[in-house]
């Protein structure tokens, strides 16, 4: 699929916003959010969580749960088209920034810093994988750890727009 960005006005880049959402669903940078500690004994779904329990919320697996997402392992940005599903903390099946009063206060700043450079890179360059590489074979596995990143480096060839053959 070719994808040409014809504006860098973030308000107008709906499809790019869906791509960013879908990326955050499948690859939340904080897969287990931030470890929290229970301040008082709490009951959730019949389980008793004792005081001082360290709680890790697995946003990575929630974002891939087939109970909430069709074709949950597939990258389908269009799933967010005409959907109210958002990561602002109201839909607990999609929490790359957490939820509740300790959710990420830098969400909007973080998002603009993803969308703006990405739109500029797509606007000014044509991108392709190196010869002999099939885009479907790209490895998207993440590294382990509190903050996830690509496990293997991504090699792409950027050609200034207008110069590609
Ligand atoms: C795409 C970028 C970002 C992602 C995915 C992200 C994700 C998160 C997540 C998952 C949490 C934990 C929420 C929870 O435990 O419920 C968090 C907390 C936090 N984030 Fe971000 N974040 C991003 C960018 C930023 C930026 C740019 C800043 C600051 C300028 C920031 C500042 C913070 C702070 C201070 C907390 C702790 C909030 C608290 O404990 O009350 N984040 N973030």
Ligand 1 pocket check for 5: Cβ under 6 Å: no
106, 109, 113, best to mutate for ligand 1 pocket (most atoms within 8 Å of CB): 106
Predicted local distance difference test score (pLDDT) of residue 144: 87
Q: Are 87 and 94 in contact (CB under 8 A)?
A: yes
| Residue range 54-106, pLDDT digits in tens | 999 999 999 999 999 999 999 999 999 988 888 998 999 999 999 999 999 99
Atom of ligand 1 nearest to the CA of 99: 16
**pLDDT, tens digit (0-9, with 9 covering 90-100), for 109-165:** 999 999 999 999 999 999 999 999 998 889 999 998 889 999 999 999 999 987 765
d(CA 158, CA 41): 54
Look up the ipTM and state it.
0.98
For 35, 53, 100, 101, 137, the CA distances from 50, given in Å and listed in that order, are 15, 6, 20, 21, 45
- Cβ of 97 less than 6 Å from ligand 1: yes
Token code pair at residue 45:
């779904």
Domain ranges of the chain: 7-160
- For residues 37 and 52, the answer to whether their CB atoms sit within 8 Å is yes
What is the pLDDT, as a whole number, of residue 165?
Answer: 59
CATH class of 7-160: mainly alpha
| CB distance 101 to ligand 1 below 6 Å | no
| Angle formed at CA 32 by CA 36 and CA 74, multiple of 5 degrees | 155
Closest Cα to atom 20 of ligand 1? 104
Task: Return the residue whose CA atom lies nearest to atom 26 of ligand 1.
Answer: 106
Q: Are 26 and 65 in contact (CB under 8 A)?
A: no
Angle at 64 between CA 61 and CA 69, to 5 degrees: 140
Identify each DSSP E strand in 2-161 by its residue range: 36-37, 42-44, 47-49, 54-55, 125-128, 157-160
Regarding the beta carbon of 96 and ligand 1, being less than 6 Å apart is answered yes
DSSP conformation class of 144: P
Report angle CA 107, 110, 115 to the nearest 5 degrees: 120
């Amino acid at each position: 699929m070719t994808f040409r960005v014809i504006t860098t006005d973030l308000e107008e880049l709906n499809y790019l916003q869906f791509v960013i959402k879908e990326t955050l669903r499948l690859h939340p940078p904080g897969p287990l959010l931030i470890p929290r500690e229970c301040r008082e004994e709490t009951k959730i779904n019949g389980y008793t969580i004792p005081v001082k329990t360290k709680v890790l919320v697995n946003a990575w697996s929630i974002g891939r749960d087939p109970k909430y997402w069709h074709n949950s392992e597939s990258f389908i940005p269009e799933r967010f088209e005409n959907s109210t599903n958002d990561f602002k903390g109201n839909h607990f099946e999609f929490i790359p920034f957490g939820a509740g009063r300790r959710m990420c206060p830098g969400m909007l700043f973080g998002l603009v810093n993803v969308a703006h450079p990405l739109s500029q890179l797509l606007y000014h360059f044509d991108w392709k994988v190196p010869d002999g590489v099939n885009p479907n074979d790209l490895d998207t596995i993440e590294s382990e750890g509190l903050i996830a990143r690509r496990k293997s480096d991504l090699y792409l060839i950027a050609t200034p727009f207008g110069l590609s053959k």
